[in-house]
Amino acid sequence: MMISRRGFLTGCCVYGFESFHRPASHVVAGFAASQLSGDIRRPQFHLLPRANWMNDPNAPIYWNGNYHMFYQYNPDGAVWGNMHWGHALSPDMVHWQHLPIALSPSLDGPDAGGCFSGSAVLDDQQVMVLYTGVVSVPASEATARGAINFKETQCLAVGSGEELLTWTKRPKPVIAAPPADMEVTGFRDPSPWREGDWWYTVLGSGARNKGGAILLYRSKDLRQWEYVRVLTQGEGNHTNDSNPVEAGDMWECPDLFFLGGKAVLIYATDGKVYWECGDVDRKEWVFHARRKGLLDYGPSYYAAKTQLDRMHNRIVWGWLPESRPLEEYRDSGWAGMMSLPRVLTVDADYGLRVEVAPAIEALRQKPQIVEVTGNEEQNQRRIRSMYIEQCCGEVLCRFKRDSPAPFSLSLTSDHPEQCWLTLRYNASQPAKLLVDETLLPLGTGTDEQIEFHLYIDGSAIETFINRQTSYTKRFYPAGSTAPRVGLKIAGRTSDISRLRLWQISPISSDRLTT
């Protein structure tokens, strides 16, 4: 059961400045470090806090020789609520050091009810974050209505120090209200960029029973903003009148950026992250999409956020939520993790392409290689002998696209016997691929091979197919000992051109990611 990132929980606490310097390594009473580090379902090479709840990636930025990742964080439990900004530092987007909490709700401030998502920019060598602050208000004043009615405004904070450990907030919102003529279903998650003398930002919004919308604002100084217009708008699915995000009437976590002269918009709604690639009419400020799709087709990827790395590649991060019952992750003392960093590119036909950042390759160890022969039995025997230990590894498989026999690859465990994920391809339907029970589009293109690339970590599997599409899911091994993960391949092994497994080296000695 996936809990909405905006599940407005009754009884959500409000904290003031007294919690500002509470370290992100704080461990909830009753959850000792040994209990957390001994949990086989915790990942070993994905970022997550030492304990408690994590959701959206916020304001990732490369600055002063390091990568900074902020994220939605509840310092007081492994459930949504009491939103702070956790903070971690990395030299390579792989190995992380936990830092003190960056942003905490300010008593009587515009973020007294929580510091929601936002973005970072560099302005005159200063790191600035634009984020959504919320306060609890009567329903008549709310921009987001639910069990708790929130007024959402956009706030500004300035970071200082070599590791951005100190943050100074402006006491009042820099964008205090949505457009006067709109009755919005939400008003949050600013994502700014600079063009010439102007700063621009998109904001997630929408109108009930009409569809999600992306609002555009501009500013000369990041402090005084003016509304420009609705940049683009979609249609809802009319399936859930009580939750506008699930109904598609609210688009959250928008991000607009430019790759290869093309405009890319991503946003989250109805449990998925969508992308649109096209052009922006800068005279009228209207986004014209040419192609659309899902950033990830799996059930466990949401709230994506991008940044530029030190080589100016566009990197996207996502939140991998839990899919087990709330009671289970609450009692485990932790919930949620960050995806691996993914590199985005755009092809000549406005298609978005995605693959894991090559920095992850530094973690590979103990390669296992299948030298394919013409002897099917021998090939299968070699495949059955290969395992990933501790649910911590990588699989790469390439095979002929025009194979006359259907081909499938499954991740399995024999203690107990279990199938965690299956990919199926049939050359008779070359534009489709089945992952578990989900049908994914697969462009026919000119590729002569199909590539499956999988990363398995504790309780998460991130899968990439032909650098075109991805599928992320969570799985939960039983017991106190992590099972070995093996492969089962159906089809002609002689059609395989490359099959390799690697163990992945943990980024910490105790699963606490620091």
What backbone torsions phi and psi does residue 484 show, to the nearest 5 degrees?
-80, 145
What is the Cβ-side half-sphere exposure of residue 432, based on CA atoms within 13 angstroms? 9
pLDDT number for residue 28: 52
Q: Are residues 385 and 298 in the same domain?
A: no
Q: Are residues 327 and 399 in the same domain?
A: no
Catalytic residue among 39, 56, 221, 279: 56
Cα–Cα distance measured from residue 366 to residue 53, given in angstroms and rounded to the nearest whole number = 33
Q: Are residues 269 and 302 in the same domain?
A: yes
**Does any domain span residue 79?**
yes
Task: Determine contact, residues 155/16, Cβ cutoff 8 Å.
Answer: no
Which CATH number characterizes residue 132's domain?
2.115.10.20
**Does any domain span residue 197?**
yes
**Does any domain span residue 272?**
yes
Q: Are residues 208 and 136 in the same domain?
A: yes
**Does any domain span residue 511?**
no
pLDDT number for residue 15: 30
CA dihedral angle for residue 479, residue 484, residue 490, residue 494, rounded to 10 degrees: 180
Is position 56 annotated as part of the catalytic site?
A: yes
Q: Are residues 351 and 399 in the same domain?
A: no
Distances from the Cα of 278 to the Cαs of 230, 272, 275, 361, 481, in angstroms?
16, 20, 10, 32, 48
Residue 6, exposed/middle/buried by CB under 10 A (0-12, 13-18, 19+)? buried
Place of tokens 């990132």: 5
pTM score of the predicted model: 0.94
Q: Are residues 129 and 143 in the same domain?
A: yes
The total of other beta-carbon atoms located within 10 Å of residue 220's CB is 11
What is the Cβ-side half-sphere exposure of residue 444, based on CA atoms within 13 angstroms? 6
Residue partners of 388: CB distance under 8 A and separation at least 6: 394, 395, 456, 484, 485, 486, 501, 503
Question: Of 480, 501, 216, which Cα lies nearest the Cα of 384?
Answer: 501
Which CATH number characterizes residue 434's domain?
2.60.120.560
Cα–Cα distance measured from residue 179 to residue 205, given in angstroms and rounded to the nearest whole number = 11
Out of 321, 356, 391, a domain closes at 356
Q: Are residues 217 and 291 in the same domain?
A: yes
Out of 356, 378, 413, a domain closes at 356
Both tokens of residue 8? 């407005």
Q: Are residues 167 and 244 in the same domain?
A: yes
**Does any domain span residue 514?**
no
Cα–Cα distance measured from residue 410 to residue 421, given in angstroms and rounded to the nearest whole number = 6
- Residue 262's domain comprises 17-356
Q: Are residues 352 and 379 in the same domain?
A: no
Both tokens of residue 60? 């990732």
Place of tokens 């976590």: 253
Both tokens of residue 289? 């999409």
CA dihedral angle for residue 358, residue 362, residue 365, residue 371, rounded to 10 degrees: 30
What DSSP character marks residue 75?
A: T
Query: Looking at the 3D structure of the chain, how many domains does it have?
Result: 2
Q: Are residues 271 and 341 in the same domain?
A: yes
Q: Are residues 245 and 350 in the same domain?
A: yes
Q: Are residues 349 and 377 in the same domain?
A: no
pLDDT number for residue 20: 34
Rg (CA), the chain: 23
pLDDT tens track, the chain, 514 positions = 444 554 443 333 333 323 333 444 445 546 788 889 999 999 999 999 999 999 999 999 999 999 999 999 999 999 999 999 999 999 999 999 999 999 999 999 999 999 999 999 999 999 999 999 999 999 999 999 888 899 999 999 999 999 999 999 999 999 999 999 999 999 999 999 999 999 999 999 999 888 999 999 999 999 999 999 999 999 877 776 678 999 899 999 999 999 999 999 999 999 999 999 999 999 999 999 999 999 999 999 999 999 999 999 999 999 999 999 999 999 999 999 999 999 999 999 999 999 999 999 999 999 999 999 999 999 999 999 999 999 999 999 999 998 889 999 999 997 778 999 999 999 999 889 999 999 999 876 667 899 999 999 999 999 999 999 999 999 999 989 999 999 999 999 999 999 999 999 999 999 887 7
pLDDT number for residue 241: 67
Question: Of 266, 163, 263, which Cα lies nearest the Cα of 212?
Answer: 266
Question: Of 231, 123, 244, which Cα lies nearest the Cα of 183?
Answer: 244
**Does any domain span residue 8?**
no
What is the Cβ-side half-sphere exposure of residue 199, based on CA atoms within 13 angstroms? 19
**Does any domain span residue 510?**
no
Distance from first CA to last CA of the chain, Å, rounded? Answer: 29
Cα–Cα distance measured from residue 458 to residue 465, given in angstroms and rounded to the nearest whole number = 21
